[in-house]
Amino acid sequence: MREVRHVVVVGGGVAGCATAHYLSAAGVAVTLVEREGLAAGASGWSAGGLNPLYGVPEGLAAFAMASYREHLRLWPEIERLTGQALGGRIIDMALVASTEAEIAPLQATAAAFAAADGFSARWLNRAELLAHEPRIASHVAGGLLTRGNGVVDSEHFTKLLAAAAQAQGATVRAGTVTGVQHTDQIVTGVVLDDGTIPCDAVVIATGPWSDAATAWLGYSVPVEPLKGEIVRVAPIGPPLAFDVVTPAVSLFSRVDGQVWIGATQEKRGFDREVTTEAHDLLRGAAADLMPSLADATLVQQTACLRPISPDGMPILGAVPGWSGAFLATAAGTKGILLAPAMARAVADLIVTGTTAVPLDGCSPARY
């Protein structure tokens, strides 16, 4: 196995910053290159939810849970390295059935929560649900009150990962990558618009812009952006008793009392502008679920781009035919949740050539 002493990580989102941390922790010299600023993309605007048992592609269940467990192990580690509080917490979430037809699908979810260590769930009928949070609309059929999911401030988490990497010797620099230098597909450097950084390996973690690496590597990296908008409001009254989620809309409670209403999913290329259409759609769905939110004060509307692959699975691991080229991208709408396992897996592969992280369905070789 080729010795790797210096790795360039391209991309300052959560996947790139986490990879820089794990590689630095393993004693590898790391240069993290970011074009727009740390957490400038989706990693800075995500709701930060860590839900490994709901909304995860079927083939990604084991990976998602492994990443959730890695989050819990990682939190105190980055706090120790940076001397800063992360503020990650375990939360309650109500998965609400708006109609009787939506009850049955939640039963399988209840079983998954009951079977997972550290998680729990119980069904609440309409009256019980409203007793816990009376602002929910009275027309709902009931809800599954769950315990065990986590949440982080996604921007803060991403920047702390970069700070933890720097505390262990990593370098963070601004720059635009334009190519990969190599000899017979053995990585020897990363080309920027202002020079070349010699290295033994490169990790492409550029999120929705990962397809640019297709030209650098001569290997297909089929990632495209999925636009998502979130509306942040300040409601009247106390903070929500718990996050409230339906197939149509999610209401995320924040410690400052805000409610984040999310999130849309649209393929609109690289358009990152907020829209009136998304605002009205989200506010309307939120008011239908919780009528009092119709009078909530708008705080901010945000838009970001999440990276998705054709099959909805991450693209993770060594690039076939190359020595020293790796991909860590396409986490979709679960980027904050999946980043620790993605980063640990890539760092393991670079340092030892193998990993215990379950990577079924994630290999770049499928393309």
Q: Are strands 297-308 and 315-318 parallel, antiparallel or unpaired?
A: unpaired
**Res 11: pLDDT:** 98
Nearest-CA neighbor of 227 among 187, 185, 278, 177?
A: 278
Residue 126 has pLDDT above 80, yes or no: yes
pLDDT digits (tens, 9 = 90+) for 280-298: 999 999 999 999 999 999 9
Residue 157 has pLDDT above 80, yes or no: yes
**Res 107: pLDDT:** 84
Distance of alpha carbon 16 from alpha carbon 268, whole angstroms: 24
Residue 303 lies in a domain: yes
CATH code: domain of residue 75: 3.50.50.60
pLDDT digits (tens, 9 = 90+) for 299-316: 999 999 999 999 999 999
Residue 323 lies in a domain: yes
> Are 64 and 188 part of one and the same domain?
yes
> Are 160 and 128 part of one and the same domain?
no
**Res 67: pLDDT:** 98
pLDDT digits (tens, 9 = 90+) for 35-54: 999 999 999 999 999 999 99
**Res 358: pLDDT:** 96
pLDDT digits (tens, 9 = 90+) for 232-246: 999 999 999 999 999
Residue 279 has pLDDT above 90, yes or no: yes
Residue 58 has pLDDT above 90, yes or no: no
- 3-state SS, the chain, equals CCCCCEEEEECCCHHHHHHHHHHHHCCCEEEEEECCCCCCCHHHHCCCEECCCCCCCHHHHHHHHHHHHHHHHHHHHHHHHHCCCCCCEEEEEEEEECCHHHHHHHHHHHHHHHHCCCCEEEEEEHHHHHHHCCCCCCCCCEEEEEEEEEECCHHHHHHHHHHHHHHCCCEEEECCEEEEEEECCEEEEEEECCEEEECCEEEECCHHHHHHHHHHHCCCCCCEEEEEEEEEEECCCCCCCCEEECCCCEEEECCCCCEEEECCCECECECCCCCHHHHHHHHHHHHHHCHHHHHCEEEEEEEEEEEECCCCCCEEEECCCCECEEEEECCHHHHHHHHHHHHHHHHHHHHCCCCCCCCCCCCHHHC
pLDDT digits (tens, 9 = 90+) for 176-191: 999 999 999 999 999 9
The residue behind tokens 């059935």 is 97
Print the domain residue range for 209: 6-83+154-222+310-366
Residue 1 lies in a domain: no
- Tell me the average pLDDT across 250-261: 96
Residue 333 has pLDDT above 90, yes or no: yes
Q: What is the pLDDT of the chain when averaged over all its residues?
A: 97
- What is the total count of domains within the chain? 2
Residue 108 has pLDDT above 90, yes or no: no
Q: Is the separation of the CB atoms in 124 and 132 below 8 Å?
A: yes
**What residues form DSSP beta bridges with 326?**
203, 318
- Tell me the average pLDDT across 94-98: 95
Distance of alpha carbon 362 from alpha carbon 317, whole angstroms: 8
> Are 263 and 243 part of one and the same domain?
yes
**Res 354: pLDDT:** 97
> Are 297 and 231 part of one and the same domain?
yes
82 contact partners, CB below 8 Å, separation of at least 6: 160, 163, 164, 167
> Are 163 and 79 part of one and the same domain?
yes
Residue 133 lies in a domain: yes
> Are 106 and 207 part of one and the same domain?
no
Q: Which of 292, 308, 324 is the last residue of a domain?
A: 308
Q: How far apart are the first and last CA of the chain?
A: 24
**Res 282: pLDDT:** 98
**Res 125: pLDDT:** 95
Handedness of CA 74, 9, 342, 5 (dihedral sign): negative
**Res 174: pLDDT:** 97
Weakest-pLDDT range from 37-41, 108-112, 146-150, 182-186:
108-112
